[in-house]
Amino acid sequence: MATIDEDLAQIEKDIRQLKIEYDQFFGGGRKKPPTDIEWRIDLLVKRYNERGGEMKPHQRFRFNNLTQTYAKYKDIFRKRMKQKEEGTIQRHFGAAAKAIEATRAKEHAKVEAVATAAGDAKAFRMICSHPESEPEKVEKLYEAFLQAKQLAGEHTGKLSRSSFNQFVLKKTKELQEQKNCKDVEYVVETVEGQVKLKALVKS
């Protein structure tokens, strides 16, 4: 029988594959939607929703992130399926998807980035107290950090969502214990062309 970590890794792998195969389906490269993968993910998600008490904090945190991502994709797929059935889906799916992602990235940058006192530098700020139950906040922090590195031309190949989540969880607990505080503020900023991620204690 698979361990919890192995099942979580399988869910993550299946979500990536599901997105690829749905993209192929909407682009005309597949005749049927990948319902078999969707069924497998649903089965594992249901299992761990019922057995949440068996998971350690970092596993529950990872599971929450995965289910949130999966729910987001399912909503997108449902809307695209409706468009396909109504005959309103865009034919050049790949190009359209890239255009949508580019627009979203620009809007995300406008909303999330705020000017700091350091010249033209921009910073993203996020206060966190319980990262294991605040996956949306950590997701935004990860996206801001990744985007800042990409804009600065830094290599992001070794940066992974799961390791970043674990770092935030560990760092938050560490500072809370050391400084006897509740809230930790994370700041993503670019200083002299280098992206920094700072963890500050909030009194």
Decide: residue 49, CB within 10 A, 0-12 exposed, 13-18 middle, 19+ buried.
exposed
pLDDT at 109: 46
Domain boundaries along the sequence of the chain: 4-89, 105-202
* Average model confidence (pLDDT) across the chain: 81
Q: Between residues 86 and 113, which one has the greater pLDDT?
A: 86
Q: Between residues 195 and 193, which one has the greater pLDDT?
A: 195
Number of H helices, E strands in the chain: 6, 4
Q: What percent of the chain is predicted at pLDDT more than 90?
A: 25
pLDDT at 112: 41
pTM attached to this predicted model: 0.46
